[in-house]
Structure 1
Amino acid sequence: MCQTSWASLLTTLEKMTLHTTLQNVSPWLDTKKEEAKVQASEVDNFEQKLIFWMTTPLGTFIILANLFIIVGIVFNRKLYNTTNYFFLSLLSADFFTGVALPVIPRMSSDKDMGYHGCLLVYILPNFFFLTFLANLLMVHYEKYVCIVYPLHYRNLWVHRCVPLALLLVWTLPLIFASLPMVGWNNWNVNATCRYSHVFQKAYLYLEIYGFLIPAILATLFITVKVLIVARRQHKSIKKLYRSVQRGGCSELEQQMDLRYAKCIASVSLTFLVCWVPYIASLHVSLLAMEQYNIKWLTLVILTCVGSGSTAVIPVILGLSNRQYTELWRTVCGRCCLAWRKPPQNPAIIRDMTGQVKPGRTLDLLTQQASTT
């Protein structure tokens, strides 16, 4: 009996001690939870501000620059040809990519949306970017065919079937981007709106290694082939020029060498600045999807820089072509002439050679007034 009473007394004391400890610890736990919520809210606000300031100015620039180049092509009838039709399609796709640019870094965060709204939020930016890459590849391929096969270019399907080619570069990305909408997703009844519930891992791997990376490598391969053809023609021109001139290295040859070196430097710089960050962001996103420990700041910065730098490529190609900016240069020149044009003076005195002598007009009028 005595042992039983002592055991019950000890149990009661332990319960009282545990209850007292929980009462003392509970406010501390509540305080820690509130501090964690405040810290998470501050981090989320900082992330949203960082995404805004990294994507919104660049997206606005891409939108305005594409509109600038599109207007310069549409209102210049000398540019109505196959090459510029493909480039107009690329500019249109890049315009929509600039619109979707602020949304792309936010695709890694959860959203409070329904099934159809969630699918549209994730599928539309993906479709715009896939269309952009398809149009960019088509533009490079058309230029490659035009340069490598100049005599047979008009008989090739790229030149003869422009509407079909444009339909393909817009329809195929739409079909692939719409696959999650027809059932290839991880959505269930209790699912939240996040990318892992919209895109399956197999879909993302197929998109990255079956479409995006091959398209980038194909674009790079076509560019290198064009540079090789240009180098071969460059050597032929120099050889022909030297056979005619029979002299040393002339100024024209130096200019040609410098121009070719600038082309190589611009292509290399474009690849390093525009494509390398995008490829890095793709692989970092895959690592984050596989639950690797990657800081959110690294992921956000790489996604913003990678997507934005790639979308700048058509703007660089458009602004570097003087034909696309000819309309705006003409308009600016006329505006400057109209602004600088002096006012017409009705009393203009001309000498015997027909030259205008506006400085003598006031003197003659003064003499006439004094004589009268």
Structure 2
Amino acid sequence: MNAALDKKTFRSDLLAWYRASARALPWRAKPSLYKTVVSEFMLQQTQVKTALPYFERWIRELPGFDALATAPEARVLKLWEGLGYYSRARNLHKLALAITARPEPPRAPAAWLELPGVGPYTAAAITSISFGEPVACVDGNVVRILARLTADGTVFRDSSSAAKYFTPIANALVNKAAPGDHNQAMMELGATICTRQNPSCAICPVRSSCAGARTLSPEQFPRLAAKKTEEQSVCRIWFLSTKRDAVLLHRASPSARRLAGIFELPSPADIELDEKDLTTKNAKLVAEQKRSITRYRITEKFLALTPGAPLRRRIDARIKTSAGMLQWIALSDLDKITLSGPHRRIVQKHFA
């Protein structure tokens, strides 16, 4: 801990600012354990502005643990469609089943860590906000604040090692009189003031405590080793039935690490096509998009396939032997299934 840091002043300044300036977010209005849990799961790897409409729809459709626990998984995934990282939705569903099977929810962070999808950050957030447990949340926002607050120049291998390093400092700073508000204030500060680029130091409520601000270059903290990225290129096929009233989709295996049970437009490999099958005679490039998933930078090309009779027969044979992984979905039913968010947007923009 920086010897010059006055913990009492920092806590006081931070809390006063938060209570006067916090954003009006739906999980903060009439807060409940359920709202806190749902919001924390949604905010794992998702920005607030993206999560907002999903959260509001979710609470309307599944207003409590009981409603979520009794909902079919297909409905849960459909409500989550577009947020990505669908394991979060499945884990949230499992967590609701676990909570409703208990006489009362657990209160200690350690007990929450035993529940599906709950890591140290989520356990700290839930228990500090809902039960007043004096434990700090440490995510990328909090790491950034603490690295700047202390002007710590340590170079970290990754964000996980940085979070582990700063956790003792974060816990020493927790306002034990209001740990939930303290943690939310730290999140708020990182999201709105102490941002990764161009932090608003001039209006920061804790600037007087910040060694990084005194260096006049707070952006240099924290110091994380450069991530190695991997470029990938993928083709996707838009292929209609003979009557042009259904589209061929690929459904990921229930045991898949990503997108288990979720529909996507198929790749050439899914339907056993090779380069000669995708000549300009058969396939037309309709759209291209770039997106990132963890360390991967993915370029997707979307081709509209209009094959001749021999190729169509080959594809039909492949569908029959795919054990349900390839399915014809009626165009009128597209809105009823759970389609990966990026593919849903492509379909709506280019193929609807």
TM-score by length of 1: 0.24
The structure richer in helix per residue is: 1
The structure richer in strand per residue is: 2
